[in-house]
A and B are shown apart, each in its own frame.
Chain A
Amino acid sequence: MTTEPAPPDDPALGAIVDRIRAARAAGTKLRLRGGGSKDFYGGPLAGEVLDLRPLAGISRHEPTELVVSARAGTPLAELEEALAAHGQWLPFEPPRFGPGATVGGMVAAGLAGPARASQGSVRDYVLGATLLDGRGELLGFGGQVMKNVAGYDVSRLLTGSMGILGVICEVSFKIMPRPPGSATLRFDMDEATALRRLAEWSGQPLPLSASAWWDGTLVLRLAGAHAAVDAAAQRLGGEAVEPALAASFWEGLRDQRDEFFAAAGRAVAGGAALWRLALPSTAPPLRLTDQQLIEWGGAQRWLCCALPAATVRDAAASLGGHATLWRGGDRAAGVFAPLAPALARIHRELKRAFDPDGVFNPGRLIADL
């Protein structure tokens, strides 16, 4: 029912619209790409690259509104720097994996860092988005205000969509003041004890911010008002980690450059697979491999192993979660867990609604879409 819209007056946007229309007319596919820092993630790469970096820039940052809007190609580093200048940040600590990471990639992948369990995920901070659908039509959903229930929540649906619904052009986020105080504690603790303690602490009014357990060591980050952090640090005990060392540890974990992921990278080069398991945080120890890192209070577990995919997937599913083949392994069998039939049908229909000719990122999120 909609007529062909007038071309947008923005040249970067106009060029993308032209590419979409041309691909649609020619029956070709487009592979949406920012800095390429997450090329490794998800299903196989297919289609002509549509580089979204020209669509860049922070369009609006109003510190007192707690809102920032940025175009998809904006380097994540640029956005974080602009926020830091006002003592603000993206509390979900999106991983960057490399210097080229962009805002659009962060939203499309929907990946969060160490603070996920305490601060929420990418979509929890998305307020609105504009996208170009498979017809090259510019659509806007949500907005730049904190509360908005006008119509379906399309902007959150786009978060983590891996670009299969359209080109995410610009996104507005709720941002937060950076907590003034922070402390990192280290404990010698076995896996089962660490999981139990994390669950107990999480149920108490403590300023927990992030956790990581591997190889008999639990590292815990507190963040909040100075008074609350100091009181909690005193109560929890453990060994205080020097702030500069702690900061570099959490940064390394966030970007997967730390010791565990470095070792995993070597194992993957030698034929192993790195799996990401998303589980209810109280799931018991898996005991599938010794090469394991546990984050998010138990809800995100990284396994590096050469076990059959079915073993890992079944273990995750039996505990109420799912497993993603993160790096390495046999990717031909699919990297994401399969969908239940009722959900698979809805996915197909949504894909058809947004991208009727299947122009965008075929197979990147779901094998046949």
Chain B
Amino acid sequence: MNAPLPATPDPAARSARQREVVTALAARLPAHALLWQSEDTTPYECDGLTAYRQRPLAVALPETEEQVAAVLRTCHAMGVPVVARGAGTGLSGGAMPHPMGVTLSLARFNRILAVDPLARTATVQCGVRNLAISEAAAPYGLYYAPDPSSQIACTIGGNVAENAGGVHCLKYGLTVHNVLRVRGFTADGEPVVFGSRAPDVPGLDLLAAVIGSEGMLAVAIEVTVRLVPRPPTARCIMASFDDVRKAGDAVAAVIAAGIIPAGLEMMDKPMTAAAEDFVHAGYDLGAEAILLCESDGTPEEVAEEIGRMLDVLAGAGATRLEVSGDEAQRLVFWSGRKNAFPASGRLSPDYMCMDSTIPRKRLADILIAIQAMERKYDLRCVNVFHAGDGNLHPLILYDANDPDQLDRCERFGAEILETSVRLGGTVTGEHGVGIEKLASMCVQFSPAELQTMRAIKDAFDPAGLLNPGKVVPTPQRCAEGGLRPGRRSLLPLHALESGRP
């Protein structure tokens, strides 16, 4: 929180710089692939984190790889920051423009290049939408597993940048588990390939570092993903609980029974009410918390697993249990969860979505802590959790037109993140740091750890031009925030969790 906007540059100097940059890029791009008038660049001023906005000097919309390389080389030669952008659905400001930089829109790289059913891979350009990959693979009985809520719109390039997750991660993994190869360019426009269609590469696993690096290490142009067979059957249990602690304990009990659900999601009472009002799924409005617990696989496998799940959930004190009878009903069960964000949007003019992760056993603790924070900051908060992963999405409701509310909302969010770190978790599970959580990085990491991350950035991008100012806070910023982590012992997070310094 406390997101920083880069210092406002002097308008005259900015205009002069803009003319230079536009002139240089105009020599390398067709006229329709370069935007710089403010009415044209305004649509790019933010991503899914709309609270913070900034217009870039120019937006480049290259259509060929040669043009991408030319833009990068030109910007590198002139020392101009470059912010790569996909669909702009990110929730942490990772694609927010730089005031003295160029936004590199990769929206036109939207072709599916190959689907190989025998190798179970798809090779696509970075601007292909997440869901489009699964649609292209569907005729072969295959799909791409990571399914962020924005999958209708978000691009695979953005998924790579953020290491996007979704509701099926516990069983099927994150982007980093499902991407085999990324081809693109370094900051200075040199072609580079990370990973391989083979299971590994010589040297360090740079692909693992590039995935989730929020566009700061390289620019992805082409991505090869792993496809998996679509399970023939999926069924979902909707379980009600009269107490959030019982619901949290039920999550741990399912895992303890040796079951890895295909999806395990939790909504609290206010979220359930908002979702029900939005989609009319028949949710139990009397429940303090609802769990959605899904099994997938062959019909025999699913029947066996659903039976075991029902036993565990009943034993954990579920007050109502309903199993989807058919695919239509399963989708109805999920509809409210998938529409949690828009449903919340109807409760309040604005909401801020948090994204921390905690150990599963702490789900009830954090929910109770958040209830206390609602009173402290006098703002409402509704909660959806990827309970199977311990990944929380508290949505703090506020009115952005009221500066006092925005201020309270930011402090509320920061306290959720700090509490999550204290409980042994992390400030971001799947949305990324971007600009939004820079200050919280000072809570989670020591100065030496942040310095190591800066050194990694320098190793890939010595001039520091790819998406500068995101993810890794400057030492000054951590000092100003007054936030210092305690001295680390060998087990930093463990130590924090057990309350030691």
Interface residues of chain A, those whose CB is within 8 Å of chain B, are 1-2, 5-6, 8-10, 13, 59-60, 62-67, 69, 71, 87, 110, 116-117, 120-121, 123-124, 128, 130, 133, 137-141, 143-154, 156-157, 159-161, 165, 169-170, 176-178, 180, 196, 199-200, 202-206, 224-228, 230-231, 278-282, 296, 299-300, 320-322, 324, 336-340, 342-343, 346-347, 349-350, 352-354, 365-366
Contact = CB atoms under 8 A, between A and B. Distances in A.
B260 A177 contact: yes
B31 interface: no
B212 interface: yes
Contacts of B213: 152-153
A156 B205 contact: yes
Interface residues of B, number: 109
Contacts of A150: 426-428, 433, 437, 440-441, 444-445
Contacts of A147: 165, 169, 174, 357, 386, 389-391, 426, 429-430
A2 B448 contact: yes
A288 to B, nearest CB: 17
Interface string B380-419: 0000001011110000000000000000000000000000
Given A146-B357, A279-B198, A342 B386 contact: no
A149 B425 CA distance: 11
A128 B208 contact: no
Given A204-B229, A353-B452, A278 B430 contact: no
Contacts of B455: 353-354
Nearest to B185: A342
Contacts of B389: 145-147
Interface string B39-61: 00000000000000000000000
B394 to A, nearest CB: 15
Nearest to A349: B459
A149 B90 CA distance: 13
A248 B444 CA distance: 45
Contacts of A296: 199
Nearest to B258: A177
A336 B444 contact: no
14 contacts: A65-B360, A143-B424, A145-B358, A146-B388, A148-B429, A149-B429, A150-B437, A151-B453, A154-B453, A202-B229, A203-B141, A227-B304, A296-B199, A336-B202
Nearest to A226: B304
Contacts of B120: 199, 202-203
Contacts of B176: 124, 153, 156
Contact of A324 (B163, B202, B437, B490): B202
Interface stretch (B4-12, B188-196, B337-345, B367-375): B188-196
A6 B191 CA distance: 43
A139 B209 contact: no
Contact of B202 (A5, A87, A339, A350): A339
A87 B349 CA distance: 49
Interface in B203-244: 203-206, 208-209, 211-213, 217, 229-232
Interface stretch (B63-71, B78-86, B126-134, B294-302): B294-302
A65 B208 contact: no
Contact of B471 (A67, A120, A151): A151
Contacts of B357: 143, 145-148
B99 to A, nearest CB: 24
A153 B198 CA distance: 21
Contacts of B232: 205
A124 B177 contact: yes
A159 B200 CA distance: 12
B300 A366 contact: no
B173 interface: yes
A321 B198 contact: yes
Contacts of B300: 225, 227-228, 230-231
B492 interface: yes
A5 B448 contact: yes
Contacts of B475: 1
Contacts of A110: 200, 205
Given A64-B256, A177-B259, A322-B198, A151 B472 contact: yes
A339 B494 CA distance: 38
B297 A205 contact: yes
Interface stretch (B19-27, B102-110, B111-119, B316-324): B111-119
Contacts of A124: 173, 176-177
A202 B140 CA distance: 12
Given A144-B424, A157-B205, A8 B490 contact: yes
Q: Find the residue from B163, B359, B452 having the highest chain A CB count within 10 A.
A: B452
B413 to A, nearest CB: 15
B449 A140 contact: yes
A153 B429 contact: no
A152 B298 contact: no
A196 to B, nearest CB: 8
B145 to A, nearest CB: 12
Contacts of A352: 459
A279 to B, nearest CB: 5
Contacts of B424: 143-145
A130 B446 CA distance: 12
A177 B261 CA distance: 12
A6 B119 contact: no
Nearest to B198: A321
Q: Find the residue from A138, A144, A204, A366 having the highest chain B CB count within 10 A.
A: A144
Contacts of B259: 177
B138 interface: no
Contacts of A322: 196, 198, 201-202
Contacts of A202: 120, 229
Contacts of B152: none
B488 interface: yes
A205 B230 contact: yes
Contacts of A157: 204-206, 208-209
B142 interface: yes
Given A139-B449, A156-B209, A353-B455, A149 B199 contact: no
Nearest to B161: A149
B177 A353 contact: no
B53 to A, nearest CB: 23
Those 8 A-B pairs whose CB atoms lie nearest each other, nearest first: A349-B459, A227-B300, A353-B455, A156-B208, A177-B258, A321-B198, A147-B429, A140-B492
